[in-house]
C-alpha cells in the first residue's frame, strides 16, 4: 500500500512491502514506553492512542524495561542516538511492529505526528522506514493577541495542538497590554486580559506537547494602550502616545515591574522584547541623548537595559530587526546574546538576503514571514506563500536559527482564526523541510517545466494539509483555501492588506474606497466568490471535526462577496450623485432596493461575526469592529433615503490615493 503525503515532508522515506494493522480483532495493542518516560512521552502516547481510536483501533499504554513486548506492539523510545538534531527521529514500520526512536521527547512527538498521518481509515500503516530531522531549530507561530481579539485558553490550546501536529515547537502571544498586571491593574483592564494563572497553565500544556510558549511583551514602540492612561502619560517620548521614552527613568521602573510579573510565568529561556517601529524615538525627550551616543545609540542602550531586566528573570532577549537595519553602521556593536527577528511581508519591497549581515557579524537571527491575514477578510494566500518561501530560502542560505510565522491583527483583528491554518502549515513545511518553496522562490514563469513542478508540489502539499489538519484525503479543503485566498482584486491595490476588506467597511457616502474600485475587477471577483461560496457548502463534510473553521471560511467568502456587490452598488450610487438627471425613477428604485438589501445583509454578517468571534475569543475589541460596521450600514440606509427622496448628496471630491495612503485611510477608519 502506498504512503500518503506527510506534512511537513520527511527528509528520508524508504517504502517497503506490507503493512501493520492497528485495528486487530485480538487484544489491545500496547504502546510501549521506556522506563524513564516523562509526561511529554506519555502525552505523545495518548495522542497516538486517540488517533488510533478514531479508526476503530484499541491501544493501551505500558512501560517496559526493554523496548519491546510480546506480539504486535508500538514502541516509543527516547535517549536513542538519532541524527544530529535533538529533534530527529526514526520511524520503522513492519507487519508486526512499529518503532519510533528519538533522542528527546520532542523528537518522539514528531515521530508520533508522522505516524498519525500514515494511518489509513482501516487502521493500517504501510511498512516503511523514515529518518527525519528539522531544517531550523526554532519553528513557530506568533499570534497577535493585542490589536483586537484575545483568544480564550481553549483556543490557545487548539493552536498548541495544531503546532504540535505540524511539528512547530514554539508559540508566541504578541502582547502589548492584554495581560493582567497586579502592580499596574489599569493596563489592559478593559481589554479582556489574560492572567498569570492562565499563562502558567498554557505554558504547562505547551511543554507537555513539546511546544515552547515564548513570552512576548512590547517594550518600546506600540505602547499606546499603556501611555493613554494618565498614570503613564509622562513616560511618552514625544506626545504622540506611541513610544516610551528612554530619557524617562520611570520607563525602566515600569518595564521592570512588567517583566518581573510577566516573565516568571514561562519556562522558556527566551523573551521577545519586540522594540519594533518606535517611529518617534529620539524625536522628543531622548534627542539630546542620541546626540551624545550617535544615530542608533539610544536604541542599543535601551535594548541593553531590557536585556538586564530579562536576565534577572533568567531570560535571553530577542527583538525585531527593523531598527537595527536602519542603523547598519552599529550592527557590529550588537550584543551577541541577542537574537534578531527579521521580518517583512511584501516580497517585492525587500532584499531577503539582508540577513547576511547578521551572519557576517556572528549574530544569531531568525526569519519571520507572515500569514498575510491581517487587514483582510481572508488571507492573501499567494502573497503569504511567496513571503514564507523567500524568507525560508534566505534563512537556509545564511544560517538562521529559526523561522517564526507571524499572524497579526492590525486594525481590529477581524481576520478569523481558522482562516490562518493554511499559512501556519505552509510555514511548518518551510521551516522543517523547505522543498517546494525553493522552487517557488527561483522558478522562471516562462518555463513550462517549472510550472509543472510547482503544480505537483502544490498538489502534494494540498493533500497533506487537508488530511493532516482536517482528515480530508481529497485535498479539497486546501484547494478552497487557495481559491478563496486568490480573490482580492477590486481594481486598486493595498499594501499589507486586501482591497476587498476596505470595501466591506467603507462608508458609501464618503466612498473612500468605493470610488477607487473598478467595475471589471468587481465583476470578476463576484463571479469567483459566488462559485467559492457554493464550493464551501458542498465541501461541508470535508472539514471533519473542524466545523468552526468551515464556518469561518464561509463567513469570509460571504463577507467578500458582499463587499464587491456593495462596491458595485456604491459606484452606481456615485454615478447618480454626480449626474442625478441621468437616472429615472425606476432605476433609482432598483438601486435603493439593492442598497437596502446590502444593509440587511451587513446586519446579518455583523451578527455572524460576533458569533464566530466569541466562539474562540473574549469580547476585547469586538465593539470597535461593530462600530465600523454600523457606520457602513447607516451609510447604506442613508443612501436608500436619498434615492427615495431623489435628493442626491454632494459627491465626494476625487482622490488619487497610492497604496500606502490607502492603508492610512484604513487606519483612520478604524480609529474614528
Element (H, E) at 102: strand 97-102
Query: Cα–chain-centroid distance for residue 496?
Result: 14
Average pLDDT over residues 385-409: 97
Beta sheet of 170-174, edge-to-edge order? 212-214, 170-174, 138-144, 402-407, 364-368, 339-343, 316-320, 270-274
The three cell numbers of residue 458 are 502544490
> With contact defined as beta carbons under 8 Å apart, do 168 and 423 qualify?
no
Query: Cα–chain-centroid distance for residue 179?
Result: 20
Q: What spatial distance separates the first Cα and last Cα of the chain, rounded to whole Å?
A: 60
Q: Is the pLDDT of residue 322 over 80?
A: yes
Q: Give pTM, 2 decimals.
A: 0.96
Average pLDDT over residues 156-175: 98
Average pLDDT over residues 211-237: 98
Q: Is the pLDDT of residue 285 over 50?
A: yes
Give 308-320 pLDDT, tens digit per residue.
999 999 999 999 9
| Rounded Cα distance, 255 and 313, in Å | 13
Q: Would you place residue 26 in the very low, low, confident or very high pLDDT band (cuts 50, 70, 90)?
A: low
Contacts with 120 (C-beta within 8 Å, 6 or more apart), sequence order: 1, 4, 55
| Rounded Cα distance, 661 and 667, in Å | 10
User: Which of 29-43, 329-343, 449-463 is predicted least confidently?
Assistant: 449-463
Average pLDDT over residues 242-265: 98
The pLDDT assigned to 457 comes to: 66
> With contact defined as beta carbons under 8 Å apart, do 365 and 358 qualify?
yes
Q: Is the pLDDT of residue 580 over 90?
A: yes
CATH match of 138-456 with 3.30.70.360: no
Q: Is the pLDDT of residue 364 over 60?
A: yes
Q: Would you place residue 638 in the very low, low, confident or very high pLDDT band (cuts 50, 70, 90)?
A: very high
Q: Is the pLDDT of residue 565 over 80?
A: yes
User: Which of 27-36, 86-95, 223-232 is predicted least confidently?
Assistant: 27-36
**Where are the domains positioned within the chain?**
12-132, 138-456, 487-671
Give 300-310 pLDDT, tens digit per residue.
999 999 999 99
The pLDDT assigned to 641 comes to: 98
Average pLDDT over residues 607-612: 98
User: Which of 96-100, 449-453, 573-577 is predicted least confidently?
Assistant: 449-453
The pLDDT assigned to 437 comes to: 46
Average pLDDT over residues 447-459: 51
Tell me which fold the domain 487-671 belongs to: 1.20.120
Domains 12-132 and 487-671 share a fold: no
Mean confidence (pLDDT) of the chain: 94
Q: Could you please report the per-residue DSSP string of 288-314?
A: HHHHHH-TTHHHHHHHHHHHHHHHTTT
Average pLDDT over residues 45-74: 91
Q: Which CATH number fits domain 12-132: 3.20.20.70, 3.30.1660.40, 3.10.20.30, 3.30.379.10?
A: 3.30.379.10
Give 407-451 pLDDT, tens digit per residue.
999 999 999 999 999 999 999 999 999 854 445 444 444 444 433
Q: Would you place residue 2 in the very low, low, confident or very high pLDDT band (cuts 50, 70, 90)?
A: confident
The pLDDT assigned to 378 comes to: 98
The pLDDT assigned to 257 comes to: 98
The three cell numbers of residue 211 are 511546544
pLDDT over 70, % of the chain: 96
Q: Is the pLDDT of residue 394 over 90?
A: yes
The three cell numbers of residue 227 are 501611555
List strand residue ranges (DSSP E) for 372-488, in order: 402-407
Torsions phi, psi of 82, nearest 5?
-115, 120
| Rounded Cα distance, 616 and 592, in Å | 37
The pLDDT assigned to 666 comes to: 87
Average pLDDT over residues 198-220: 98
The pLDDT assigned to 455 comes to: 47
| Rounded Cα distance, 130 and 266, in Å | 34
**For residues 528, 532, 538 and 540, what is the CA-based torsion angle, rounded to 10 degrees?**
180
Average pLDDT over residues 157-174: 98
Give 501-553 pLDDT, tens digit per residue.
999 999 999 999 999 999 999 999 999 999 999 999 999 999 999 999 999 99
The pLDDT assigned to 25 comes to: 67
Average pLDDT over residues 325-341: 97
Amino acid at each position: 500500500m502506498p504512503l500518503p503525503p506527510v506534512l511537513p515532508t520527511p527528509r528520508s522515506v524508504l517504502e517497503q512491502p506490507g503493512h501493520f494493522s492497528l485495528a486487530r480483532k485480538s487484544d489491545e495493542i500496547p504502546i510501549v514506553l521506556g522506563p524513564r518516560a516523562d509526561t511529554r512521552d506519555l502525552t505523545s502516547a495518548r495522542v497516538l492512542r486517540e488517533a488510533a481510536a478514531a479508526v476503530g483501533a484499541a491501544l493501551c499504554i505500558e512501560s517496559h524495561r526493554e523496548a519491546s513486548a510480546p506480539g504486535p506492539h508500538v514502541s516509543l523510545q527516547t535517549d536513542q542516538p538519532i541524527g544530529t538534531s535533538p529533534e530527529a527521529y526514526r520511524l520503522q514500520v513492519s507487519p508486526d511492529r512499529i518503532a519510533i526512536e528519538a533522542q528527546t521527547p520532542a523528537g518522539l512527538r514528531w515521530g508520533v505526528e508522522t505516524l498519525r498521518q500514515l494511518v489509513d481509515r482501516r487502521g493500517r500503516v504501510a511498512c516503511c522506514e523514515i529518518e527525519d530531522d528539522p531544517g531550523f531549530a526554532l519553528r513557530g507561530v506568533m499570534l497577535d493577541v493585542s490589536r483586537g481579539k484575545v483568544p480564550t485558553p481553549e483556543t490557545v490550546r487548539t493552536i498548541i495542538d495544531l503546532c504540535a501536529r505540524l511539528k512547530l515547537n514554539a508559540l508566541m502571544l504578541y502582547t502589548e497590554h492584554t495581560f493582567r498586571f497586579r502592580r499596574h491593574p489599569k493596563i489592559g483592564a478593559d481589554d479582556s486580559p489574560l492572567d498569570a494563572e492562565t499563562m502558567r497553565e498554557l505554558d504547562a500544556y505547551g511543554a507537555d506537547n513539546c511546544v515552547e510558549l515564548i513570552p512576548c511583551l512590547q517594550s518600546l514602540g506600540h505602547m499606546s494602550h499603556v501611555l493613554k492612561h494618565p498614570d503613564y502619560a509622562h513616560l511618552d517620548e514625544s506626545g504622540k502616545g506611541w513610544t516610551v521614552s528612554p530619557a524617562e527613568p520611570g520607563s525602566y521602573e515600569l518595564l521592570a515591574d512588567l517583566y518581573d510579573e510577566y516573565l516568571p510565568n514561562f519556562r522558556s529561556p527566551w523573551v521577545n522584547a519586540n522594540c519594533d517601529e518606535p517611529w518617534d524615538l529620539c524625536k522628543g525627550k531622548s534627542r539630546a541623548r542620541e546626540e551624545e551616543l550617535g544615530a542608533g545609540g539610544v536604541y542599543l542602550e535601551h535594548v541593553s537595559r531590557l536585556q538586564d531586566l530579562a536576565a534577572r528573570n533568567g531570560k535571553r532577549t530577542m527583538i525585531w530587526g527593523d531598527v537595527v537595519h536602519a542603523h547598519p553602521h552599529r550592527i557590529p556593536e550588537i550584543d551577541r546574546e541577542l537574537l534578531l527577528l527579521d521580518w517583512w511581508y511584501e516580497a517585492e519591497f525587500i532584499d531577503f538576503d539582508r540577513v547576511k549581515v547578521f551572519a557576517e557579524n556572528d549574530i544569531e537571527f531568525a526569519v519571520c514571514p507572515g500569514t498575510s491575514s491581517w487587514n483582510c477578510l481572508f488571507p492573501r494566500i499567494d502573497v503569504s506563500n511567496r513571503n514564507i518561501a523567500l524568507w525560508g530560502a534566505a534563512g537556509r542560505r545564511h544560517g538562521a536559527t529559526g523561522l517564526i510565522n507571524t499572524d497579526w491583527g492590525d486594525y481590529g483583528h477581524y481576520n478569523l482564526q481558522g482562516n490562518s491554518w493554511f499559512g501556519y502549515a505552509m510555514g511548518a513545511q518551510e521551516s522543517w523541510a523547505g522543498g517546494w518553496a525553493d522552487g517557488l522562490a527561483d522558478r522562471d514563469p516562462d518555463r513550462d517545466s517549472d510550472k509543472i513542478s510547482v503544480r505537483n508540489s502544490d498538489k502534494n502539499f494540498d493533500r497533506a494539509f487537508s488530511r493532516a489538519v482536517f482528515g480530508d484525503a481529497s485535498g479539497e479543503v486546501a484547494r478552497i483555501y487557495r481559491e478563496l485566498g486568490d480573490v482580492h482584486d477590486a481594481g486598486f491595490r493595498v499594501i499589507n492588506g486586501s482591497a476587498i476588506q476596505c470595501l466591506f467597511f467603507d462608508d458609501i457616502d464618503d466612498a473612500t474606497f468605493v470610488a477607487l474600485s473598478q467595475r471589471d475587477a468587481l465583476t470578476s471577483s463576484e463571479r469567483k466568490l459566488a462559485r467559492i461560496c457554493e464550493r464551501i457548502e458542498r465541501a461541508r463534510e470535508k472539514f471533519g471535526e473542524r466545523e468552526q473553521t468551515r464556518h469561518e471560511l464561509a463567513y469570509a467568502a460571504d463577507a467578500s462577496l458582499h463587499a464587491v456587490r456593495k462596491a458595485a452598488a456604491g459606484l452606481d450610487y456615485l454615478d447618480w450623485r454626480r449626474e442625478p438627471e441621468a437616472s429615472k425613477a425606476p432605476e433609482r428604485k432598483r438601486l435603493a432596493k439593492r442598497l437596502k438589501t446590502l444593509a440587511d445583509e451587513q446586519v446579518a454578517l455583523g451578527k455572524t461575526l460576533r458569533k464566530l468571534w466569541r466562539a474562540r475569543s473574549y469580547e476585547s475589541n469586538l465593539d470597535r469592529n461593530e462600530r465600523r460596521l454600523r457606520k457602513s450600514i447607516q451609510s447604506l440606509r442613508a443612501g436608500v433615503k436619498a434615492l427615495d427622496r431623489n435628493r442626491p448628496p454632494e459627491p465626494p471630491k476625487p482622490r488619487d490615493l497610492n497604496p500606502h495612503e490607502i492603508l492610512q485611510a484604513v487606519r483612520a477608519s478604524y480609529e474614528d
